[in-house]
C-alpha cells in the first residue's frame, strides 16, 4: 500500500516506524529539515521538506496513485486542507487529525461534505482511555477483548509475591490463563515453561476474564471495591478538557490545576461542574491543601513527560489511590514500570493504534499497543485458506514471539494448545511483538490485509473498533 504521511511529529513518526515495519510504501512530508534528515537516516522512506497543503508538491509525489494520505501536522486547518487537496487530486482515501474542541460539532459535516473518510482526535481518544482505566477494577493496565470474555492484565510483581524465583512450568496457573509476556529491565520476553519469574517483573497475563481476575486478585492488583468519586487533574490542555467533560457526565467530582490563568478562565467557561484552580500542580503545599490523600485518582496531563512522571510519583507518595500519567516518549515506558505508577497513557500510541487498525483491514476487530508499542494484542478473524486455518497449531510454524492466546468460538473461550485448530469463523486473540506483525498478517490474511483502503476504512467503522468522534 502506498501511504503519504503529512507531518512527522510524535504521531507521524510512530506511524512511519510501524508502516515501514509492515513493508508499506511510505512517503513523508514535513516542514522541518531536521525531522526530514532524521527520517532519512533511520528509515527506508522518501521524506521531503515542504508544505503538505501544496497541490504542486502532492502532484510531484503522484498522490493520485496513493491508497491513503494521513495528515497529522500540528494544525487542524492544514490537515483538513491537505486532505481535501489530496482527494481532489485523486488520492483514494484520506485521514485527518482534528483536535480543536470547537470543531467537534462539525466533524460529521466534514466527513460527508469534504470527503474525509476518517477523522481522529488524539486528545479525545486519550481521555476515553483514561476513563476506561479509572473505571477499571485493576490497579494496573487491563484490556478486554472478545466481547469482554477475554482479558489481558498487567501484573507487577514485588519481592513478596509467592510466584517469584520460580520457573513458569512449576507455577500452579489456572487452566484458562497464560503468561503472554514479561517486561523486565526495559526488555520484552516471550516466555516458555523454563523461564524464571523474578521480583520487579511485570507479567502480561491473558485468558478467560474471570480466571485472569482471580489470578490478578491473588497478586494484589485487583480491587473489588474501586469506585472513583473524586479525581484531581494536573494540566488544563485539550485532554484535560475532554476528560473532565466525560467525568462530569458520570457524576464524578473533578478538580483541574492549571498554571496559565487565561486557560483557567477558558476551562471555567466551558466546564459546568469542574473546579478550576490556578496554580502549580507540582507544588506539594497546594496538593496537600487540596487533600490529595482523599483523591480516588490523580491524572497528570501537562505538556511535559518528565513533569507528569515526577508529579505522579509525588502524588502516589502523598496518598492518591490511583495515579495515571500522560507520556509521549516510548522509551519512558520502562520508567513507568519501575517507579510504581498505576498506568501511563500515550495519545501518540493510541492514535497510531487506531490508524494502523484501519490500514490493516476490517478482519482486525480490535488491537492494543503494549509496553511502549513494542508488543500488540490483536483480535482477528482469520480468512479461509490461510496457513492458520484448519491445521493443528503445532504444525503451523508460528514464529517465536507470537502467542495464540485465546480462541472465541460459539460463545465459548478456548485456551489453545499445540493440537488446537482454528476455524475461519473464530475470533482469535494474538499476542505478538511489534516487529512480527507482518508475519501474523500472513498467517491470518490471504492478501496480507492490503485490500482497497476505502473498503478497509468502511470495515473499520462498521466493526465497532476505533471510532470517529
Quick: pLDDT tens for 271-294. 999 999 999 998 999 999 999 998
pLDDT at 137 over 80: no
Report pLDDT for 188: 87
Burial of 394: CB neighbours in 10 Å, binned 0-12, 13-18, 19+: exposed
Task: Report the Cα–Cα distance between both ends of the chain, in Å, rounded.
Answer: 26
Report pLDDT for 247: 95
Q: How does residue 139 score in pLDDT terms, banded at 50, 70 and 90? A: low
Q: How does residue 349 score in pLDDT terms, banded at 50, 70 and 90? A: confident
CATH code for residues 2-120 = 3.40.50.720
Query: Strands (DSSP E) along 150-301, which ranges?
Result: 150-156, 166-167, 177-184, 187-189, 196-197, 202-208, 230-234, 253-258, 275-278, 297-300
Q: How does residue 68 score in pLDDT terms, banded at 50, 70 and 90? A: very high
Q: Name the CATH code of domain 352-462 (choices 3.40.50.720, 3.40.1800.10, 3.90.1150.10, 3.30.70.1450).
A: 3.30.70.1450
Report pLDDT for 144: 84
Report DSSP state, residue 382: P
SS3 256: strand
Q: How does residue 362 score in pLDDT terms, banded at 50, 70 and 90? A: low
pLDDT at 141 over 80: no
Quick: pLDDT tens for 82-112. 999 999 999 998 999 888 877 766 777 777 7
pLDDT at 138 over 70: no
Compute φ and ψ for 327, nearest 5 degrees: -135, 145
Cα 340 to Cα 344: distance, rounded to the nearest angstrom: 11
The CATH number of domain 127-134+226-345 is 3.40.50.720? yes
Report pLDDT for 266: 95
pLDDT at 360 over 90: no
Asked if residues 168 and 177 have their Cβ atoms less than 8 Å apart, the reply is: no
Look at residues 128, 78, 108, 97 and name the one whose alpha carbon lies nearest to residue 345.
Answer: 128
Report pLDDT for 37: 92
Say what percent of the chain tops pLDDT 90: 41
pLDDT at 31 over 90: yes
Query: Strands (DSSP E) along 98-228, which ranges?
Result: 118-120, 142-145, 150-156, 166-167, 177-184, 187-189, 196-197, 202-208
Report pLDDT for 447: 53
Look at residues 19, 112, 7 and name the one whose alpha carbon lies nearest to residue 67.
Answer: 19
Quick: pLDDT tens for 429-462. 999 988 888 888 888 875 544 443 443 334 333 3
Do domains 2-120 and 352-462 share one topology? The answer is: no
Report pLDDT for 467: 32
Name the pairing type of β-strands 230-234 and 297-300.
Answer: parallel
Where are the domains positioned within the chain? 2-120, 127-134+226-345, 352-462
Report pLDDT for 375: 85
Q: Is pLDDT larger for residue 150 or for residue 161?
A: 150
Q: How does residue 391 score in pLDDT terms, banded at 50, 70 and 90? A: very high
Compute φ and ψ for 4, nearest 5 degrees: -105, 125
pLDDT at 463 over 60: no
pTM over 0.75: no
What does pLDDT average to over the chain? 85
Using CA of residue 11, residue 13, residue 16, residue 21, what is the dihedral sign? Answer: negative
Look at residues 326, 328, 362, 360 and name the one whose alpha carbon lies nearest to residue 344.
Answer: 326
SS3 236: coil
Quick: pLDDT tens for 204-251. 999 898 899 888 888 887 766 568 899 999 999 999 999 999 999 999
Amino acid at each position: 500500500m502506498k501511504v503519504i504521511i503529512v507531518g512527522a511529529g510524535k504521531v507521524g513518526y510512530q506511524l512511519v516506524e510501524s508502516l515501514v515495519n509492515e513493508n508499506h510504501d511510505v512517503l513523508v512530508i514535513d516542514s522541518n529539515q531536521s525531522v526530514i534528515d532524521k527520517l532519512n537516516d533511520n528509515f527506508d522512506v522518501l521524506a521531503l521538506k515542504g508544505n503538505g497543503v501544496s497541490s504542486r508538491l502532492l502532484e510531484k509525489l503522484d498522490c493520485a496513485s496513493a491508497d491513503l494520505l494521513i495528515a497529522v501536522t500540528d494544525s487542524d486547518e492544514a490537515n483538513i486542507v491537505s486532505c481535501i487537496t489530496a482527494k481532489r487530486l485523486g488520492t483514494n482515501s484520506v485521514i485527518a487529525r482534528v483536535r480543536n474542541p470547537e470543531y467537534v460539532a462539525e466533524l460529521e459535516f466534514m466527513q460527508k461534505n469534504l470527503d474525509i473518510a476518517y477523522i481522529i482526535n488524539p486528545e479525545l481518544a486519550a481521555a476515553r482511555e483514561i476513563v476506561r482505566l479509572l473505571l477499571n477494577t485493576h490497579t494496573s493496565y487491563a484490556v478486554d477483548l472478545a466481547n469482554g470474555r477475554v482479558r489481558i492484565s498487567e501484573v507487577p510483581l514485588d519481592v513478596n509475591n509467592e510466584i517469584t524465583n520460580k520457573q513458569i512450568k512449576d507455577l500452579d496457573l489456572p487452566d484458562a490463563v497464560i503468561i503472554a509476556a514479561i517486561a523486565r529491565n526495559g526488555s520484552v520476553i516471550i516466555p516458555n515453561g523454563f523461564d524464571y519469574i523474578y521480583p520487579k517483573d511485570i507479567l502480561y497475563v491473558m485468558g478467560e476474564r474471570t480466571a485472569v481476575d482471580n489470578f490478578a486478585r491473588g497478586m494484589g492488583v485487583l480491587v473489588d471495591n474501586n469506585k472513583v468519586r473524586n479525581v484531581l487533574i494536573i494540566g488544563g490542555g485539550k485532554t484535560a478538557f475532554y476528560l473532565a467533560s466525560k467525568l462530569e457526565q458520570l457524576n464524578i467530582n473533578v478538580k483541574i490545576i492549571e498554571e496559565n490563568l487565561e486557560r483557567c478562565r477558558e476551562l471555567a467557561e466551558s466546564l459546568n461542574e469542574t473546579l478550576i484552580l490556578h496554580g502549580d500542580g507540582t507544588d506539594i503545599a497546594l496538593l496537600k491543601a487540596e487533600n490529595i490523600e482523599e483523591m480516588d485518582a490523580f491524572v497528570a496531563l501537562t505538556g511535559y513527560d518528565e513533569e507528569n512522571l515526577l508529579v505522579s510519583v509525588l502524588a502516589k507518595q502523598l496518598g492518591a489511590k490511583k495515579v495515571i500519567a500522560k507520556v509521549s516518549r516510548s522509551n519512558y515506558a520502562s520508567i513507568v514500570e519501575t517507579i510504581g505508577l498505576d498506568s501511563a497513557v500515550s495519545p501518540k500510541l493510541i492514535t497510531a493504534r487506531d490508524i494502523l487498525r484501519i490500514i490493516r483491514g476490517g478482519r482486525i476487530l480490535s488491537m492494543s499497543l503494549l509496553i511502549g508499542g513494542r508488543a500488540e494484542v490483536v483480535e482477528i478473524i482469520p480468512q479461509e485458506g490461510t496457513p492458520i486455518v484448519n491445521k493443528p497449531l503445532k504444525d503451523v510454524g508460528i514464529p517465536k514471539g507470537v502467542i495464540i492466546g485465546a480462541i472465541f468460538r460459539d460463545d465459548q473461550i478456548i485456551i489453545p494448545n499445540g493440537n488446537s485448530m482454528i476455524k475461519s469463523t473464530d475470533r482469535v486473540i494474538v499476542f505478538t511483538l511489534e516487529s512480527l506483525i507482518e508475519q501474523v498478517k500472513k498467517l491470518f490474511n490471504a492478501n496480507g490485509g492490503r485490500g482497497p483502503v476505502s473498503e478497509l476504512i468502511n470495515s473499520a467503522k462498521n466493526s465497532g473498533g476505533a471510532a470517529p468522534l
